[in-house]
Amino acid sequence: MSKSFLFDFEFDSIRLSQAAEQILRWTKEDQHHCRYVVTPNVDHIVKLQTNKQLQAAYRHASMILADGWPLVWASRKFGRPLPERVAGSDLPAALFEHDLTKDRHTKPTQVFLLGAAPGIAAKASKNIQKKWGHIQVCGTYSPPLGFEKDPAENQKIIDRINLLSPDLLILGLGAPKQELWIKEHHQQLDVKVALCLGATIDFMAGHKSRAPRWMQKWGLEWTHRMLSEPKRLAKRYLYDAVQFPRILWREWRKTGRPV
Ligand code: UDP
């Protein structure tokens, strides 16, 4: 897979469909460790400047996909172009569409949904089953607040997942919690590939709405998210808007003039 070095990390320089194909290939491999995929946006890049644990989680990721137009724009300006934005929330549909396990003799792809508020993942599961009959959501779990600091609760989650050995684990715990959790536990998991996808379970359940396509196309998905959760997101986006230009400036000084 071709890589693009940006902000100290090796981004995968691929399109959504290629990412989906590669992830599906991994789910069919007979390997015994859980690979995981991260989908950075501007906020992740800002967090990565100071969060060493998040940096370590990123270094262990098997795939890094740019979920955010400013990152794709920067990659082009710095002469290390990414072909397109690959939104984490677009991944499940792309994977499910690409899934070729329609052969009745092959086991259907098993998916486990971890995260979102109680009841939401079950709704997402129903919607997935309705739309993609060949995908089997084998389990869902909404961990209680603060679960990540409780070893017994973490073990319970791992046991629950391992009992079902899913091909795909979708983590909807928000950043950086999902990345730190999977970095810490991926070696204990009997899962082929884990995907860190933020609010995607909420979107699949219809609990939160994604921005309309035209907004996504014009790089305005963040506006939609901020307007739908202003209390939680306005301060974060403001902070990121101040930090990101400084990060771009540092990147330019470190690795070369924009083209
Ligand atoms: N979430 C969760 N457990 C937690 C914290 C968050 O299940 O301990 C879920 C929350 O319910 C929501 C998602 O994580 O479904 C947050 O995703 P989002 O992408 O909005 O988070 P961000 O990374 O933007 O903070």
Q: For residue range 149-166, what is the model confidence (pLDDT) as tens digits?
A: 999 999 999 999 999 999
* Any atom of ligand 1 within 6 Å of the Cβ of 199: yes
Work out the pLDDT band at 257, boundaries 50, 70, 90.
low
How many angstroms does the Cα of residue 172 sit away from the middle of ligand 1?
Answer: 6
How many angstroms does the Cα of residue 199 sit away from the middle of ligand 1?
Answer: 6
Max Cα–Cα distance, the chain, nearest Å: 56
Q: Whose CA is nearest to atom 14 of ligand 1?
A: 173
Alpha-carbon distances of 77 from 70, 73, 111, 218, 249, rounded to whole Å: 10, 6, 38, 18, 12
pLDDT of residue 128: 97
* pLDDT of residue 123 exceeding 70: yes
Rounded to an integer, what distance in angstroms lies between the CA atom of residue 249 and that of residue 78? 11
Q: Whose CA is nearest to atom 6 of ligand 1?
A: 173
* pLDDT of residue 103 exceeding 80: no
Work out the pLDDT band at 4, boundaries 50, 70, 90.
very high
pLDDT of residue 100: 63
Which numbered atom of ligand 1 lies nearest the CA of 232?
Answer: 25
* pLDDT of residue 167 exceeding 60: yes
| Cis before 176? omega within 30 | yes
* Any atom of ligand 1 within 6 Å of the Cβ of 116: yes
* Bigger pLDDT: 108 vs 118: 118
pLDDT of residue 172: 98
Contacts of 94 (CB under 8 A, 6+ apart): 16, 17, 19, 20
| Mean pLDDT along residues 252-256 | 83
* Any atom of ligand 1 within 6 Å of the Cβ of 240: no
Enclosing H/E stretch for 45: helix 42-48
Q: Whose CA is nearest to atom 16 of ligand 1?
A: 174
* pLDDT of residue 101 exceeding 80: no
* pLDDT of residue 51 exceeding 70: yes
| Mean pLDDT along residues 23-52 | 95
* Any atom of ligand 1 within 6 Å of the Cβ of 117: yes
* Any atom of ligand 1 within 6 Å of the Cβ of 67: no
How many angstroms does the Cα of residue 253 sit away from the middle of ligand 1?
Answer: 34
Mean pLDDT score across all residues of the chain: 94
| Mean pLDDT along residues 240-258 | 89
Grouping H, G, I as helix, E, B as strand and the rest as coil, residue 181 is helix
Cβ atoms of 19 and 65 within 8 Å: the answer is: yes
* pLDDT of residue 193 exceeding 80: yes
How many angstroms does the Cα of residue 206 sit away from the middle of ligand 1?
Answer: 15
Rounded to an integer, what distance in angstroms lies between the CA atom of residue 188 and that of residue 204? 27
